[in-house]
Structure 1
Amino acid sequence: MKSLCKRLLLSLVVFSAGCDVFNIGDAEGTRGRGARAFDPYSSSASGAIALSLLYYNGCAILPTGEPVSPGSLNLPDYPAACEAMNMMGQPVPPSARFEVTPGVNYFIREFTAVDAITGVHTDFNDHHAPSFWMRKQSRFKDLDWSGVTVGRDEWTNDYDSTFQRETYYENAAWMRSLDDTFLIEVLDADGAVRTSVTYSRRDFMGESATTGRTRASWMVADLARPRFPGDPEVSLLPDGTEPTYNTMVKASFSGATDPFKTLAMPQLTGEGLIRVTWSLLPLQPFVFPIVFTPEAERPATCYRLDETGLATDEQVPCGFGLTQAVRVNRPANGSFFMPGDSVDFMVSLRDGDGNGLHPRNRMPSYNEYMGESSNGLAYFNEQMLLTYREASSSESGFKVVGPLQDLQVSRGSYDLPYFSFPTFSEPHFYLPPGSNLLAGGGDAQPPTHYSVQLPPNAKSGTYAIILKGHRSYMGERLNRLDPFFFQVGQAQPTTYPGRVGNCQVCHNGVNSLSNVHHGMSVDHVEACKTCHIEEGYGYLPDVIHRIHNSSRKYNQNKGDCTMCHLTRESTLWPSLMSCNGCHVSSHGTEYFDLRFEPMQNTPNGYGNCAESCHVTTPPAEHILPPR
């Protein structure tokens, strides 16, 4: 279990919003931004609301992982008991309710279906048994598995010399398909179809395993490093922890690319159903029991804000959306903080209509989050990350970093050239992994006030409090990451190094970076490096290369580094981890041992290969920025 908790942050990305510091001509969001056109983050003013449809082992689930009850609907094929992820897979009668708002336009943010088993395929050297289960026994057995091969066999350093091995099954016909469709229907309680819309797979941007999307894999976790390439024996951890074995098939499609393809939720009350029929599984529709809750019937559980932006005691109904705010204490000199000062601040999470999602001085408890009583605010959920493999998940919290001009990708050390709190990859969670570790257990309510002390040698410049927030409400599921700035040592602002950019060339309109994955703006893309420090959390140079190299939507020359790199210097720090994002077998097993060295050891897989060989021979097959 210790190792499981260390893997909780397998794929974090710090994304945020703000002004265009790169100013490279093609402004982010030139097509389709703004509530009058289409913006899923404009709450009730939006052209449509982002709808997430999640399915696990035969049951609809909420983003909390809780299985959805069919209520009084007559659904003969819907299980009477569902595997509850948050209870370690124990079958329980489903009790959660999936509410939607009638009369509202929705668009499909994501459709994800998972079939997974644990502790079944325990032969470390048998690649056939997991494949047989996928092709012949899983809920996806009727997909076209022709052409499937054993693909990547990856070892990942979770943290502190704990490893996992994941074997991917790739190239099946259904994985390579582009012309399949998804018929989304809304039915009333009598089973009559009241409205529908059809999406093509081409309408979705994200389906890569690197981002936690479509995959068929067999994973063995809680391992020590292998002794040599192809080691056939299981290497146990020093404390004797038994390995865990997980096999899964996940079909996941996210990020609708057509801003005008929406679904008008019918004007109904009571119970109903959303049915998804995938053209590749026409006889096995996925059903999502829903409850139509009119806006006028929403309870008053949010909080009206006063003229200063603070929550009052007056409660009002919640709206859609998620916005974040920070109030920072005034520096002693009235202008900027000094090294060694404590930066005191208060966070405020709100819906898109400007209502507080929590009281002024406290946030909802973990039990309230799991019980759908948190106004949609989401906390860290280890089962959604470990079992459901949901990469964007719900890691709500904050990180304080700076100065901006010194932000830099880690090159094999936690000794970063900038201040970071927390020091390592993960943010400071409002509630820690598990239920929570605060006094009071699952009923503890985390504070809204925090204090971070600057080091006595803090460098001068602009610092950022980066808030990472998640909310699921009335079918809408949002991820937001926003920076809020303060000055240290000087009043004059500083900005990012400006080494990477151009994301807005592809990420614009509905698929601008502020609308996908963690919810960051292209203007602050260089803040990603402050969380993606090491492999277990998605080492940034590796993850970014792999996402785009494996994407069928990214049609640019993948050897053209100038597409994203604005400076030549930023391309000339090759490492095993950086290059393996595209060149999986670069150098073969020549540097096998370095690949398994801990983060803080030097040399390791994160090190700068330019220091040894590549400083005089930059890759000739790549197009680099000019000197």
Structure 2
Amino acid sequence: MGGTAWKLSALGLALLLALLAPLAGGCGAEASTDGTQTLEGAEQLMEGDFSELSRGSASKQKIGIALEVEDGEAMPLRVRAGQTFYINQIDIRTSLSATTDEGVSGLNRTGDFACLGWNGVKLVDESFDLLAGEEGFKRRRFYRDAAWMDVPSAFTVEPVDDQGRLTGLPILLFAGSDDRHESDDFFVRRFGAIQWTYDCQTSTNCTGAQSYLEEGLLELRNARTAAQGKTITLNAKTKALRLRWTLRPFAPYTIPVEQVEKPKYDYGFSIEATPVTPPRKDGTYAPGTNVSFRLTLKDGAGKRLHPQGSLPTYNEVIFGSNEPGIQYYRAFFDPTATYYRRKHRERMLMSQIIGPAQRIQPIRSVVELDTFLAPPDVQTIATIQRDGVYSQFRTFPAANKLFGGAFESDHAGWAAPVSDTWSYQLPPDALPGTYLVTTKGRRTYLGEDIPYTQTIEIQVGTPQRTTPVLTTGPCNSCHSQGGELSKVLHANDNRAACAGCHAPLGFELEGPVFVRVHFIHSRSDRFDVSPAQCSKCHLTKESVQRTSKAACLSCHKSYPASHVQKFGPIENMYVGGGRESFQQCTGSCHTTHPQSGL
């Protein structure tokens, strides 16, 4: 085994020096983006040089696991003993505090990402949180285009014993560059930096601020089909995984591994929302009916993750012992930002009803914070009269406890019991048709971090099933090979079942799906057509003719001076302005979009 370990060191050193010589010259060195061929040839070399190492018996189903490093410390990993797995997610974060406004320059001096190659870094977006914190208003500035963020890079993952000796065949994973390539091993690749300013005077002014945090972030997730075949099988001697990144060739991370012999639960996750209120004899519910549901969370073998009648409290999930791995919203402690920061780690458990299906459309009415904090556990967010569609949703725990607890000094809401039943009140004038009830959540268990969404249908007023009319698609022209909608985001491939949860919130205006889709695809270099080509996603000319700040400025970063004079300056990187951003600007202008293809 000593000879094998030497081979890995020699091969790895040769590979890394060949690929990254331009980055090894110290801080500020110019970076080369050449090296993709070197990376693509390395896997064959590794397979040949380590042919004497066995991958082990893959007797158990292979599981995608998540690896995490925080400020240089690798988070310990607990997995089922003898498990075969592939790497589905890598999160690496480095941070430092500052008292002066230096952008993210401190990250080039201190921490894990120091001297990676920061030349070219620039500010590309900024936003203010709509609610003030203890120090004041909070601003986030987002930085991209540093050399290290775009240069091709790769990871090796090596199973090792307590002496650092190999216990199995390493795997090589291609992180790729900012542009998408077939050789990439992950569907989602987000490398960036953020400057947080915590003590701004107002929601638009940070003059005199002295409290800053600088972050460097690496996010890889949703292993592509080829990467799912790159597996490691643990044996009894495996005590750690050594994670090597080609941009830090001489400083690997060692992730401690604890193997659990007989875990109480299995891998996998499923959600069942079952109607408790029986329908009428014809299988329908009458308008005005209060329809109750019961939530059941299970592992992949069908075992319940909680007793019938209750779910764990918020405190038990976030701070206590949560053996089954149930997850609740945690952005109070690990803030998220659409596209730029860790939306996959938000982990909200919630449900919605929306209908009738034939009327489903985006919801543009703003849901106020007061609505979240009010006593009802279920929030009405859309009505037929106002929004053209009816919708309600609820979070688990209920929003008044979940978000209300954040405003209580003793956080009493976080200790409150959580029921597994709830009711949706159909309006007395509910239009006949099919109504969608969707529940989504996330589970983290023994290294696995996965989402799940279930949608069921109920018939209201008629047994005749009705269907949504979607004006966008097909998403699978890009979302494939591990990036299917059934795997990314909330693992929900029913796009009609999104609008109820994704309404604009008074404290998070970027909620609607059309805002997030525009924003993500216009910022990503991995979207392989111009965002101006609306026909890549939109199916009809009419579907691009509802003009509003939110529709336009979720994609565009500027508009003409005449628009600034008439509609105001751009103050929100997601929707342009405030709650007026969802109002129709005009029915006479912007009836076509240049280069749209429609």
Q: Same fold (TM over 0.5)?
A: yes
CA shift, 1:199, in A, is 0.2
Instruction: Map 1:85-484; keep pairs closer than 5 Å.
Output: 98-118=77-97, 120-121=98-99, 123=100, 126=101, 129-149=102-122, 151-156=123-128, 158=130, 164-177=138-151, 179-195=152-168, 196-202=170-176, 203-207=184-188, 213-220=190-197, 233=207, 245-259=212-226, 260-268=228-236, 272-294=239-261, 297-299=262-264, 318-328=265-275, 329-369=277-317, 370-386=319-335, 389-392=341-344, 393-411=346-364, 413=366, 415-422=386-393, 432-433=402-403, 444-484=416-456
- Contact 1:60–1:288 (8 Å) recurs in 2: yes
Question: What is the rounded CA distance, in whole Å, between the counterparts of 1:591 and 1:428 in structure 2?
Answer: 41
Question: What is the rounded CA distance, in whole Å, between the counterparts of 1:504 and 1:374 in structure 2?
Answer: 36
- Report the 3-state secondary structure (helix = DSSP H, G, I; strand = E; otherwise coil) of the residue aligned with 1:385: coil
- Report the 3-state secondary structure (helix = DSSP H, G, I; strand = E; otherwise coil) of the residue aligned with 1:262: coil
- Contact 1:398–1:427 (8 Å) recurs in 2: no
Question: What is the rounded CA distance, in whole Å, between the counterparts of 2:567 and 2:212 in structure 1?
Answer: 24
Letter in 1 for 2:343: A
Larger Rg: 2
* Equivalenced residues, count: 499
Letter in 1 for 2:113: F
Change (3 A) 1:595 1:470: same
TM-score calculated relative to the size of structure 1: 0.71
- Report the 3-state secondary structure (helix = DSSP H, G, I; strand = E; otherwise coil) of the residue aligned with 1:155: strand
Aligned sequence identity (%): 25
* Structure 1: gaps spanning 5 or more residues: 1-43, 62-67, 69-97, 235-241, 300-317
- Report the 3-state secondary structure (helix = DSSP H, G, I; strand = E; otherwise coil) of the residue aligned with 2:310: coil
What does the per-residue CA deviation read over 1:362-413, in whole Å, with 9 as the maximum and x for residues that have no partner? 1223343243434011112134531794212211121222222222223465
Structure 1 match to 2:521? 548
Question: What is the rounded CA distance, in whole Å, between the counterparts of 1:426 and 1:346 in structure 2?
Answer: 12
- Contact 2:79–2:447 (8 Å) recurs in 1: yes
- Report the 3-state secondary structure (helix = DSSP H, G, I; strand = E; otherwise coil) of the residue aligned with 1:330: coil
Higher relative contact order (CA 8 A, sep 6+): 1
Change (3 A) 1:244 1:379: farther
Letter in 1 for 2:552: C
CA shift, 1:520, in A, is 1.0
The match for 2:580 among 604, 607, 614 is: 604
Question: What is the rounded CA distance, in whole Å, between the counterparts of 2:332 and 2:366 in structure 1?
Answer: 29
Change (3 A) 1:298 1:193: same
Structure 2 match to 1:305? none
- Contact 2:82–2:233 (8 Å) recurs in 1: yes
CA shift, 1:555, in A, is 1.4
- Report the 3-state secondary structure (helix = DSSP H, G, I; strand = E; otherwise coil) of the residue aligned with 1:604: helix
Instruction: Map 1:566-605; keep pairs closer than 5 Å.
Output: 566-587=539-560, 589-590=564-565, 593=568, 595=570, 604-605=580-581
Letter in 2 for 1:613: C
- Contact 1:204–1:254 (8 Å) recurs in 2: no
- Contact 2:141–2:196 (8 Å) recurs in 1: yes
Change (3 A) 1:621 1:604: same
- Contact 1:320–1:473 (8 Å) recurs in 2: yes
Change (3 A) 1:582 1:406: same
- Contact 1:365–1:446 (8 Å) recurs in 2: yes
Question: What is the rounded CA distance, in whole Å, between the counterparts of 1:602 and 1:487 in structure 2?
Answer: 37
Question: What is the rounded CA distance, in whole Å, between the counterparts of 2:110 and 2:200 in structure 1?
Answer: 28
- Report the 3-state secondary structure (helix = DSSP H, G, I; strand = E; otherwise coil) of the residue aligned with 2:88: strand
Change (3 A) 1:492 1:566: same
Change (3 A) 1:181 1:591: farther
CA shift, 1:143, in A, is 0.8
- Contact 2:81–2:260 (8 Å) recurs in 1: yes
Question: What is the rounded CA distance, in whole Å, between the counterparts of 2:199 and 2:59 in structure 1?
Answer: 47
The match for 2:466 among 484, 494, 513 is: 494
- Report the 3-state secondary structure (helix = DSSP H, G, I; strand = E; otherwise coil) of the residue aligned with 2:109: helix
Question: What is the rounded CA distance, in whole Å, between the counterparts of 2:66 and 2:567 in structure 1?
Answer: 41
What does the per-residue CA deviation read over 1:583-606, in whole Å, with 9 as the maximum and x for residues that have no partner? 21223544563655999x998223
- Contact 2:153–2:247 (8 Å) recurs in 1: yes
- Report the 3-state secondary structure (helix = DSSP H, G, I; strand = E; otherwise coil) of the residue aligned with 2:285: coil
Change (3 A) 1:246 1:446: same
Change (3 A) 1:513 1:224: farther
- Report the 3-state secondary structure (helix = DSSP H, G, I; strand = E; otherwise coil) of the residue aligned with 1:251: strand
Root-mean-square deviation (Å): 3.5
* Structure 2: gaps spanning 5 or more residues: 1-57, 177-183, 368-385
Question: What is the rounded CA distance, in whole Å, between the counterparts of 1:167 and 1:439 in structure 2?
Answer: 30
Letter in 1 for 2:194: S
Return the structure number with greater helix share.
Answer: 2
Change (3 A) 1:509 1:200: closer
- Contact 1:381–1:434 (8 Å) recurs in 2: no
Structure 1 match to 2:68? 54
- Contact 1:102–1:293 (8 Å) recurs in 2: yes
- Contact 1:275–1:288 (8 Å) recurs in 2: yes
- Report the 3-state secondary structure (helix = DSSP H, G, I; strand = E; otherwise coil) of the residue aligned with 1:611: coil
